[in-house]
A and B are shown apart, each in its own frame.
Chain A
Amino acid sequence: MIRRLVLLAATLAAWSLAWAASGRYDYILPPPWAVAAAFADNTALLAHHAGITLAEIVLGLVLGGGFGALAALGLALSRPAALWLWPLFVATQALPVFAIAPLLVLWLGYGVASKVAMAALIIFFPVASGFYDGLRRTDPELLDLAATMNAPRRAVLRHIRLPAALPGLASGLKVGAAVAPIGAVVGEWVGSGAGLGFLMLHANARMQVPLMFAALVLLAAAAVLLHAGVGLLLHRALPWAHDSLETSP
């Protein structure tokens, strides 16, 4: 905790110094207090747009996480599915989200749907690959033990392979929570009427740079809180897997 406060103070100090050293142009690099003032003057506006972006991220996390987990399960259950579909998943991942964003806006409109789709798309792969890896790498000795117990295949999946893969799913979700804001904001940049990305774009165009910074700070805070929240949730849900879930040293 103390380390984080020191880090925050150091960042603010470096920021103020940079502002002072670069000639004190508030419209290029506003100092921290100008950003704080922008926060105070636009609380309702910021809260409104932050709420929309957060909703997009959370919905994307739920959808992308759900589909990712289902896809991993499908791949683990069916060898043909793994052979045919896995390369496809990898290919979609190689496609930059910026390239798909205009298409999604074209197909799903300027509203929330296209941003949720973006976030879901970006979350899908880390979740699917983390869970799929976990499902594939069940301890072979455990499978031997289950075989001598005359366990049916389904029971082995349910009682051994699935729970053993949950830490993999969890780390996929944590990565997903960290990258989800990228999807939502990129979607908002390409075309939208609301959200922090939209607000930043407009504030930028009108030279309201302190407001833009306020939105940026809010976005960063949301991303960090989301990552920590998901981490905490998983930590609680999988108390036996703490070793494999440790994040920061």
Chain B
Amino acid sequence: MNTPAPSALSSPPPGICVSAVSLALGRVPVFEDFSFRAEAGRFTGILGPSGVGKTTLLRVVAGLAPAPGAAIGDEDGAPLSGRLAWMAQRDLLLPWLSVLDNVRLGARLRGEAAGTKARAHALLAAVGLAERAADLPDTLSGGQRQRVALARTLMEDRPVVLMDEPFSAVDPLTRLGLQDLAARVLAGRTVIFVTHDPLEALRLGHRVFVLNGSPATATEIPLPEGAWPRPADNPEVLAAQAAILRALAPAEAAR
């Protein structure tokens, strides 16, 4: 009973504080003195119309996009580099590596791959792909590939996980399954996820923000009470989804 799950976190998760982000794409202001916080150990969802800057915000937090003058770090202002894992919309599996070696990619890149096989196997088992460890990614379905990507993300054992529309490329049923899986294995981490899908935000978010306008502003939306992850067929969740769709519609129409 005392052995921790392979996906268990080895260090306490930090909160994330982003402030003074000012960015423009050409002459269009995307962010102006934008501030944002994500609670430690919670799932924070970011919804919004396409082109509003959701992915840019996530890239800024990840340190992948420069944001001169911005302050990005944990509650104490310490940088997040080395403490975050990235999961993109595309699974980004390397076609020449086996599923197992794809899971161990980070360790291989840092030259720390020795002795990581057992943990990678355990994580593959946790995402239900124990049997496929030796296969090449080409032999997997889209949903299975994204589960491998999830295992790779967990393998990094980082307290912060940033996900950019992680499940938008799979069919709706697979997506629901992946959301449940992600909630189970990522619970306890500080997760920021960007999504187009109001239902996904409502199911996975402990808090959900809608990003809107140019420059963008974040508005928190109220969430239904109840157990997390929220079931997709809960009437309150469905009602909230309808409300979000109505709220997003004018913004989409204005584009």
Contact (Cβ within 8 A) B88 A151: no
Report A98-156 residues with CB < 8 Å from chain B CB: 139, 141-142, 144-152, 155-156
A241 at the interface (CB under 8 A from B): yes
**By CB atoms of chain A within 10 A, which of B84, B92, B136 has the most?**
B92
A32 at the interface (CB under 8 A from B): no
How long is the Cα–Cα vector from A241 to B96 in the complex, in angstroms?
Answer: 8
Task: Write out the residue numbers on chain A whose beta carbons fall within 8 Å of the beta carbon of B110.
Answer: 149-152, 155
Task: Write the residues of chain A forming the contact surface with B, with a CB cutoff of 8 angstroms.
Answer: 139, 141-142, 144-152, 155-156, 159-160, 163-164, 166, 238-241
Contact (Cβ within 8 A) B88 A144: yes
Contact (Cβ within 8 A) B92 A142: yes
Contact (Cβ within 8 A) A163 B64: no
Contact (Cβ within 8 A) B64 A148: yes
Task: Write out the residue numbers on chain B whose beta carbons fall within 8 Å of the beta carbon of A150.
Answer: 81-82, 106, 110
Contact (Cβ within 8 A) B111 A149: no
Contact (Cβ within 8 A) A147 B138: no
Contact (Cβ within 8 A) A155 B94: no
How long is the Cα–Cα vector from A141 to B81 in the complex, in angstroms?
Answer: 18
Interface residues on B, range: 20 to 34
Contact (Cβ within 8 A) A146 B64: no
Task: Name 20 A/B residue pairs within 8 A (Cβ), A-sorted.
Answer: A141-B90, A142-B94, A144-B88, A146-B109, A147-B63, A147-B64, A148-B63, A150-B81, A150-B82, A151-B106, A152-B110, A155-B111, A156-B109, A159-B109, A163-B96, A164-B94, A166-B96, A240-B96, A240-B136, A241-B95
Contact (Cβ within 8 A) A149 B105: yes
Chain A interface secondary structure, helix, strand, loop or mixed? helix
- Minimal Cβ-Cβ distance residue in B for A156: B109
Q: Which 6 A-B pairs have the closest CB atoms?
A: A151-B109, A148-B86, A149-B106, A240-B95, A155-B109, A240-B96
Task: Write out the residue numbers on chain A whose beta carbons fall within 8 Å of the beta carbon of B92.
Answer: 139, 141-142, 145
B40 at the interface (CB under 8 A from A): no
Task: Write out the residue numbers on chain A whose beta carbons fall within 8 Å of the beta carbon of B95.
Answer: 240-241
- Residue in contact with B108 in the complex, picked from A145, A159, A166, A241, CB distance below 8 Å: A159
- Residue in contact with A145 in the complex, picked from B81, B82, B88, CB distance below 8 Å: B88
CB distance from A1 to the nearest CB of B (A): 27
Task: Write out the residue numbers on chain A whose beta carbons fall within 8 Å of the beta carbon of B127.
Answer: none
How long is the Cα–Cα vector from A146 to B106 in the complex, in angstroms?
Answer: 7
Task: Write out the residue numbers on chain B whose beta carbons fall within 8 Å of the beta carbon of A149.
Answer: 85-86, 105-106, 109-110, 156
How long is the Cα–Cα vector from A110 to B81 in the complex, in angstroms?
Answer: 62
Knowing that A148-B64, A148-B85 are A-B contacts, what are 7 other residue pairs whose CB atoms are under 8 Å apart, sorted by A's residue number? A144-B59, A144-B88, A145-B86, A150-B110, A155-B110, A155-B111, A156-B109
Report B189-225 residues with CB < 8 Å from chain A CB: none
- Minimal Cβ-Cβ distance residue in B for A148: B86
Task: Write out the residue numbers on chain A whose beta carbons fall within 8 Å of the beta carbon of B103.
Answer: none
CB distance from A69 to the nearest CB of B (A): 17
B72 at the interface (CB under 8 A from A): no
How long is the Cα–Cα vector from A219 to B216 in the complex, in angstroms?
Answer: 67
How long is the Cα–Cα vector from A160 to B94 in the complex, in angstroms?
Answer: 8
Report B58-104 residues with CB < 8 Å from chain A CB: 59, 62-64, 81-82, 84-86, 88, 90, 92, 94-96
- Minimal Cβ-Cβ distance residue in A for B138: A240
- Minimal Cβ-Cβ distance residue in A for B64: A144
**By CB atoms of chain B within 10 A, which of A142, A144, A146, A239 has the most?**
A144
Task: Write out the residue numbers on chain A whose beta carbons fall within 8 Å of the beta carbon of B86.
Answer: 144-145, 148-149
CB distance from B113 to the nearest CB of A (A): 10
- Minimal Cβ-Cβ distance residue in B for A145: B92
Task: Write out the residue numbers on chain A whose beta carbons fall within 8 Å of the beta carbon of B62.
Answer: 144, 148
How long is the Cα–Cα vector from A38 to B93 in the complex, in angstroms?
Answer: 57
How long is the Cα–Cα vector from A240 to B111 in the complex, in angstroms?
Answer: 24
Report B29-78 residues with CB < 8 Å from chain A CB: 59, 62-64
CB distance from B27 to the nearest CB of A (A): 24
CB distance from B96 to the nearest CB of A (A): 5
- Minimal Cβ-Cβ distance residue in A for B155: A149
Task: Write out the residue numbers on chain B whose beta carbons fall within 8 Å of the beta carbon of A151.
Answer: 106, 109-110
